[in-house]
């Protein structure tokens, strides 16, 4: 992977799965070049992004502006996708 993967994390306050997603992205970021941007779902931008990609509840994860997941983030699934992109 030559350029960082752009990840948008859609979060809300007091969301345990959002905290876990941040921890996972921090760990994965040690092995892959990631550029993570956090957007609060309570904002207009957060609502627009969630609607555009079909995020039903937080956290929502977008990879390069495309839908990846919502709810509990799977570190294994994320690493598989990043491995495929790097090969």
pLDDT in tens, 30-87: 999 999 999 999 999 999 999 999 999 999 999 998 999 999 999 999 999 999 988 8
How far is the CA of 25 from the CAs of 36, 52, 60, in angstroms? 8, 22, 13
> What is the C-alpha separation between 3 and 45, in angstroms, rounded?
25
- Backbone φ and ψ for 5, nearest 5 degrees, come out as -80, 125
Please list, in sequence order, all residues whose beta carbon lies within 8 angstroms of the beta carbon of residue 84, skipping any fewer than 6 positions away. none
Based on the structure, what is the number of domains in the chain? 1
Q: State CA 55 to chain mean position distance.
A: 11
Q: Inform me whether the pLDDT recorded for 5 exceeds 60.
A: yes
**Among 42, 44, 40, which residue's Cα sits nearest to residue 10?**
40
Q: pLDDT band for 1, please (50, 70, 90 cuts).
A: very low
Q: Record the pTM.
A: 0.92
pLDDT at 6: 96
- Domain hosting 69: range is 5-86
């Amino acid at each position: 992977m030559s350029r960082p993967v752009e990840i948008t994390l859609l979060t809300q306050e007091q969301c345990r799965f959002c905290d876990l997603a941040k921890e996972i992205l921090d760990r994965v970021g040690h092995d892959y070049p990631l550029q993570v941007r956090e957007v609060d779902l309570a904002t207009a931008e957060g609502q627009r992004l969630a609607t555009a990609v079909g995020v039903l509840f937080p956290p929502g994860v977008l990879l390069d502006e495309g839908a990846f997941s919502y709810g509990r983030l799977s570190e294994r699934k994320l690493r598989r996708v990043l491995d495929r992109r790097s090969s």
